[in-house]
Structure 1
Amino acid sequence: MLSHPIASQAETARRIRFGIVLLPNFTLTAFSGFVDLLRLASDEGDMSRPVRCSWTIVGESLVPVRASCGIQIAPWTTYEEAGSFDYVVVVGGLLHSGPSASEATLRFIRAAADTSATLVGICTGVFALMRAGVMDGYRMCVSWFHYWDFVERFPGADERKLVADRLFVIDGRRITCSGGRASIDVAAAILLRHVEATIVQKALRILLVDDAQKSHAPQPYPPGLEPATHPKVRRAILLMEQHIGQPLSLVELARRLEVSVRQLERLFTLETGKSPNAYGRQIRIRMASWLLTSSDRTVADIATSCGFSDASHLGREFRKEFGESPHAYRVARMQSHAPALAAI
């Protein structure tokens, strides 16, 4: 076996040091995307040596942490034995299936906040940063999918500081990211502070990423539906998306937003040109159309998942929207894809 040459003392001194904390049920994609860009940008010639930067997985103990997909990764060192870092990266994931950040993890985050380190929350890692009390006065990026979870868990948070329509937010020594592929974009933005742009671009190309997205790039929204600008309408849309299977009544929607039904209807009409019920119906129809072409689930199953009483109900609404039945829609779209697949 060939051994890597040991990096010189000067190279070591220039390294950017990343400490990575994996929360229970963390998202593997968010973690792997972030660390893989560090790896590729850190060295030349596909050697993967930690020359330009180093990364260490730290935890309360060396017991493996389980990702949401079931894969387990063991920390390399404990909080007590970890050295200092330039960036402390907290990677979150599922919110409702198991324990959240431990008290030891929160203490480690608070201690890092008292140093010169920049704190990075990826996916739901921002929830842990909030629990640790290190986000006061900072803007925070939250995935649109977890926006309402955040508001419910932190009712005292300044909603003017919450950003749910951007991939990530950099605010001084706090960086927060919506998760998924955006973790690569965050890693690129951080590395561009310290290394040449050509190095970062090469790493992105190796990952088959054309170019890193800027922090102001929008988060994806349901196809065909543009996000609104008024905060109350935005929150209403987020609630609709999170309750597709069991749609909230207009009264309940207004109650959660602390507005009257009449005010909510007026805001929706001004912002979207549709009533709340019509907008919510369109969200559910769009989701059903996506499931029809991206899965082999039955029409009845899709109808239930998207908040329709049965397949007949979905069929009636589908014909109003697309002028054809769900079955015909599925067959036509699958046939249109067949020539392209055959050519591969």
Structure 2
Amino acid sequence: MKATTVATISGRLKIGFILARSFTLSAFSLFVDTLRLASDDTDKSGRRFADWQVLSSRGNLISASCGIQVAPTAGLIDPTQFDYIVVVGGLLNCENPVDEDTIAYLKRAAAKKVRLIGVCTGTFILAEAGLMDSHETCVSWLHFDAFRERFPDLAVRADRIYQLDRWRGSCAGGSSAADMAANIVRRHIGPSAERNALEVLQIDKARSHLDIQPRRPLSTDYDDSRLRAVILMMEQNVEEMLPIAEMAASVGLSRRQLERLFVEKAKSSPSAIYRRIRLERARHLLARTKAPLIEIAVSVGFVNASHFSRVFRSTYGQSAAEWRSSIGNPAAA
């Protein structure tokens, strides 16, 4: 029995790519190569089931963050020709990653109900244009703090590899671009096309939107997704601490079950791990900023500087001020 697929505009899945200045080449290439391999049988690179264009307002070569340049294949043509428009971002310190004409084009596409996807920091471009309102955004854990600081009113998460939320999609970048592309291929072309693409790419199985982002919290690997998800929540909530029971419930456990899980896997209690995360964040701020101790204490969830200093000394054997001075931070002078 043939699997049901979602209808496309023209009978073929059509995707337009917007590449930001200093875009991430791996995210773009994995996304487009998944389409290429799904769009024909075996490895013929035909465009039987899918088509794609690299769009640009000016037609100039677009440089990736690694220095490789990509030539656009079309101008900013009618956005309704596409089922999706994918914005591939890159370096966050790149000013004006896309021009005003491209922003206007994305807004027109949104108004015409074309689905928009931000890959890597492409989500920042969409959010800056006001196009992620009322949608939940998935970003890399590496960019979570920057996104929340820049767009405090938007819902954001860094525990999943990608998100398809109604008219918007977002992707953490890297290899998860292939996972998101595989999901789209499965929806619009079918499981056999997805399987063909993944086999040629030597990917055993595409991850789903529920998979947790791979990372090493506190330089330690944990093999339990519930524990990883809770640690990620801790890292994302150091100023206003979440109750242990609330975090336990979010992963389907009671507080006691979560505590047993932490002792078994992390050899420590949830509260002790949470404290380590907050103190590590404090050490980062002590080393990298000139912020006064009270400001740092509050930013990592302590009610006053004296309590923070006591906990810091009991953990590291010296006060926060002494530690800052010992590493040569000019703020200690």
Structure-1-length-normalised TM-score: 0.67
- Give the Cα separation in 1 of the matches to 2:115 and 2:194: 20
Unaligned runs of 5+ in 1: 1-10, 266-274, 281-307, 311-344
Contact 2:9 2:83 in 1 (8 A): no
Partner of 2:132: 135
Contact 2:17 2:88 in 1 (8 A): yes
- Give the Cα separation in 2 of the matches to 1:12 and 1:170: 19
Quote the offset at 1:148 in angstroms: 1.2
Code of the aligned partner of 2:149: E
| Equivalent residues in 2 for 1:170-319, closer than 5 Å | 170-222=164-216, 223-224=219-220, 226=228, 228=230, 231=233, 233-236=235-238, 240=281, 243=284, 246=287, 251-256=294-299, 260-261=303-304, 309=327
Code of the aligned partner of 1:109: L
- Give the Cα separation in 2 of the matches to 1:63 and 1:260: 53
3-state SS, counterpart of residue 187 of structure 2: coil
- Give the Cα separation in 1 of the matches to 2:17 and 2:229: 33
| Equivalent residues in 2 for 1:1-344, closer than 5 Å | 13-80=10-77, 84-155=81-152, 157-158=153-154, 161-222=155-216, 223-224=219-220, 226=228, 228=230, 231=233, 233-236=235-238, 240=281, 243=284, 246=287, 251-256=294-299, 260-261=303-304, 309=327
- Give the Cα separation in 1 of the matches to 2:141 and 2:50: 32
Q: Closer, same or farther in 2 for the Cα pair 1:48/1:147, shift >3 Å?
A: same
- Give the Cα separation in 2 of the matches to 1:175 and 1:243: 32
Q: How many residues align?
A: 262
Partner of 1:287: none
C-alpha distance after superposition, 1:215-249 (max 9, x if no partner): 11111221416453685642445994995994568
Partner of 1:318: none
Q: Closer, same or farther in 2 for the Cα pair 1:203/1:153, shift >3 Å?
A: same
- Give the Cα separation in 1 of the matches to 2:302 and 2:50: 50
- Give the Cα separation in 1 of the matches to 2:312 and 2:229: 13
Code of the aligned partner of 1:166: R
- Give the Cα separation in 1 of the matches to 2:315 and 2:199: 39
- Give the Cα separation in 2 of the matches to 1:163 and 1:231: 9
Contact 2:16 2:53 in 1 (8 A): yes
Partner of 2:272: none
Quote the offset at 1:276 in angstroms: 7.9
Point out the more displaced range, 243-252 or 218-227: 243-252
Partner of 2:254: none
- Give the Cα separation in 1 of the matches to 2:283 and 2:204: 31
List structure 1 runs of 4+ shifted beyond 4 angstroms: 80-83, 229-233, 241-245, 247-259, 275-280
Contact 1:16 1:54 in 2 (8 A): yes
Percent identical among aligned pairs is 35
Partner of 2:249: none
- Give the Cα separation in 1 of the matches to 2:114 and 2:50: 14
Q: Closer, same or farther in 2 for the Cα pair 1:278/1:120, shift >3 Å?
A: farther
Higher relative contact order (Cα pairs below 8 Å, separated by 6+ residues): 2
Quote the offset at 1:74 in angstroms: 1.6
3-state SS, counterpart of residue 60 of structure 1: coil
Contact 1:60 1:104 in 2 (8 A): yes
Q: Closer, same or farther in 2 for the Cα pair 1:126/1:12, shift >3 Å?
A: closer
Contact 2:297 2:304 in 1 (8 A): yes
